[in-house]
Chain A
Amino acid sequence: MTDTQIRVLGTSDNERTASDLPTPRRSRSRYPRRPSWVRPFLKHLLLLGTGLLMLYPVLWLVVSSLRPTDEIFRNPGLVIGSFEISNYTDGWTTLSHPFSMFLLNSTLVVLGCIVGNLVSCSMAAYAFARLKFSGKKWWFVIMLTTIMLPIHVIIVPQYILFSQLGWVNTFIPLILPKVLATDAFFVFLMVQFIRGIPRELDEAARLDGCGHPRIFAQVILPLMTPALATTAIFTFIWTWNDFFSQLLYLTKPEMYTVPLALRAFMDATSSTSWGPLFAMSVVSLIPIFLIFLFGQRFLIAGISTTGGK
């Protein structure tokens, strides 16, 4: 993991030049009162300090994944005596299927959910943000209401529904809800973003004779890249970490996803294999971390780069 960390550092530095090009010069030249390096230096100091503090648990996780299980809780702190790779090799192979299978399953679920959310939520959001239709306010209220009820009382009726459709132990119960825009969080998020896009832009397109599908696809969607990226990143992470619904709907071990596999190292009634658990936690963090590093490029590709109105 230390290797990865360093590599990650490298990538992000390269990426910076690309992402921050649009507004390179202004911030320093405007304020000549102090030497030009003081402000950035202080900022770096502050950011590095807080960042390190915030990362302590993460670093501890990485370090502990390299310790033998019985040493993990005997020596606290970040100083590492041994460099135990066996947690990684054990963790990868000790469950009934290699860990790569769980990673693959999680990836499939995640991809399905991302595509589903991007398509269906952006469509619904366009309707709520831009179209006039009957009962709009009530539908909006209903949409928000659907995320106000705790999942624990919905999950049993929902399970019965999917079970009667014969969909238990498939990925359908995990992906279909996203394809059908049940994640009101993202609909609302996109509504807010679309409402931030100047209306003159779609009016211009309308005057050019574009219908709603084309305005949506050719004007709105490109302008809401940050919101789409946010949705994709969040969907990725939430689905990647989601435990409860995956626990209920996936029964065969060959269908298990990462969160289920990680819990397979635990047993509250006897002992937990912390070493392999930490090692595989680190492994499962790498994809989301990389996705984020890569994804932020889209997150910050806002309309400011095109100049707005």
Chain B
Amino acid sequence: MTGKRHARKAIGLVAIASAAVLALSACAGGGATSGPAALSDEPVTLRFTWWGNDVRTANTEAVIAAFEAEHPNITIEPQYADWNGYWDKLATETAANDSPDIIQMDEKYISTYGGRGALLDLNDTGDLLDLSDFSKSSLDLGTAEGALYGIPVGLTTYAVMVNPTVLESAGVTLPDDKSWTWDDLEKAGAAVSAAGAGNVFGVQSWGFEEGGLNNWARQHDDALYNDAGDVVIKADTLTSWWEYMLELSESGVSPAASATTERQNAGLAESFLATNSAGFATGWASQLTALQDASGSPLELLQIPTSADAASDSAYFKPSMYWSVSARTAHPAEAAVFLDYLVNSEEAATLLGTDRGVPANDAIRSYLEPTLPESGKSVVAFLDSLTDVVGEAPPLTPAGGSAIEAIVKRYTEQVLFKQATPAEAAQGFIRDLKAAIAAG
């Protein structure tokens, strides 16, 4: 074996590897577009990606067909995946400078992508995209550092969902959610658990995503992040949150830890609430329809309880998801036209329904409301009833903060399984979240 041949081979490998590495760096960097772009008469193809199940796929493809009929020179190529696969694929495509033009975006990721130059500032699209029917507060939900990285598609809020049938058979009256406290929830839950004899529980455990935590923090005059995106939540706030959860679990108001984890992993349709084995559950209001379909019995929405000394305005609206445009799209104008159609057209609204949440567009929401099924109407009514109560939305999840859901879940499990005390969990949570944001 000659050393020369070895060397030549090695050089070849290194050359290819460096080409790949160069490609890694070439594809990143700021967006290339500037100023409002003009529409083209030539055929244009846009790639459009979303996550969701078969129902969403069907209604989204119907919207695409309707749009293409109106705009014969624009072809929309759909691309869909399940939640986990969606983010893996989007990250890889973005790394290769090959991301789709129109992207369904989530609050946990919008700063990550937007702040790193992967998303177009939609303020730059001129009058091709009409946002006049959106309230300023809802557009603020998609704005970071002055740039509009996403249009909120639907609005939702964190709420308590209640199964009146379960309450009734336990002899518990529906609490008045205008004034109720966490103690009231615990008492009502205890009564349901007592009547449920181990099969039906009062309150389904939560703490597996950041919504409940955000609310709790706001009630305690605290917040997860400040406007600069630093983690500022106090350990005491977290400790009290987990202490309350642990108390419910230990007193039997909530199911045992292993049952909780099992149902949690199984998804919405198998949750205690969806299987009529819990009186109360916390969650995003937009999930009411899915939960109600699964449980087969009517559910109602209640405001989150507070504590006596809680800060007011703790409730807030969160976008269920956003429409974003890739910063590297070759056709920003056509992308804007498509977004305009998605958010403003009544035809699109009819086809899409509230699958992606109650529309954030005020005009479309009033247009759609009469056509909605009962569960949809009650979500709209609930959101409307909150308009006077909600406070300003919390700062967006900072870049790298998308790991928060996994972190919350992990520490909740540790607390419920008594591997960590609430205080230890609070310390660990802050440490891990800070590290995640620094690393990502």
Chain A directly contacts chain B within the complex, with at least one CB pair under 8 Å:
yes
Q: Is A60 an interface residue when CB atoms closer than 8 A count as contact?
A: no
Contact of B52 among A163, A244, A267 (CB under 8 A): A267
Size category of the binding interface on chain B: 35 or more
Known: A94-B54, A273-B55. A247 touches B61 (CB 8 A): no
Which of B92-100, B219-227, B325-333 touches A?
B92-100
> CB distance A271 to B83 under 8 Å?
no
> CB distance B290 to A157 under 8 Å?
no
> CB distance B82 to A267 under 8 Å?
yes
Size category of the binding interface on chain A: 35 or more
Q: Is A272 an interface residue when CB atoms closer than 8 A count as contact?
A: yes
Contacting A at CB under 8 A, from B1-15, are: 1-2, 5-6
> CB distance B80 to A253 under 8 Å?
yes
Contact of A266 among B58, B82, B275 (CB under 8 A): B82
> CB distance A264 to B96 under 8 Å?
no
| Chain A hits for B287, CB < 8 A | 270
> CB distance A272 to B88 under 8 Å?
no
> CB distance B80 to A264 under 8 Å?
yes
Q: Which of chain B's residues has its CB closest to A152's CB?
A: B88
- C-alpha gap A267/B293 in the complex (Å): 15
A-B contact count (CB 8 A): 122
Q: Which of chain B's residues has its CB closest to A91's CB?
A: B54
Contacting B at CB under 8 A, from A197-248, are: 243-244, 247-248
| Chain B hits for A94, CB < 8 A | 54, 58
> CB distance B294 to A271 under 8 Å?
yes
> CB distance A271 to B269 under 8 Å?
yes
B16 to chain A, nearest CB (A): 8
Known: A164-B23, A252-B77. A268 touches B98 (CB 8 A): no
Majority DSSP secondary structure for residues of B touching A: helix
Contact of B96 among A159, A253, A269 (CB under 8 A): A159
Contacting B at CB under 8 A, from A248-300, are: 248, 251-253, 260, 263-274, 276
Contacting B at CB under 8 A, from A20-63, are: none
Q: Is B78 an interface residue when CB atoms closer than 8 A count as contact?
A: yes
Q: Which of chain B's residues has its CB closest to A134's CB?
A: B1
| Chain B hits for A251, CB < 8 A | 47, 77, 79, 100
Known: A267-B51, A268-B267. A70 touches B24 (CB 8 A): no
Contact of A159 among B6, B77, B92 (CB under 8 A): B92
Q: Is B85 an interface residue when CB atoms closer than 8 A count as contact?
A: yes
Interface centre among B21, B52, B82, B270 (most CB of A within 10 A): B82
Q: Nearest 4 pairs between A and B by C-beta?
A: A134-B1, A267-B53, A263-B82, A163-B96
Could you pull out 7 A-B pairs where Cβ atoms are within 8 angstroms? Answer: A73-B269, A157-B21, A247-B88, A260-B81, A263-B82, A269-B51, A273-B53
- Beyond A264-B80, A271-B55, A271-B294, 18 additional contacts (C-beta under 8 Å) are A96-B61, A134-B2, A134-B5, A156-B96, A157-B23, A160-B23, A160-B96, A161-B20, A163-B98, A248-B92, A251-B47, A251-B77, A253-B78, A260-B85, A264-B54, A267-B56, A272-B269, A276-B54
Chain A positions within 8 Å of B, measured between CB atoms, are 70, 73-74, 94-96, 134-135, 155-157, 159-161, 163-164, 168, 243-244, 247-248, 251-253, 260, 263-274, 276
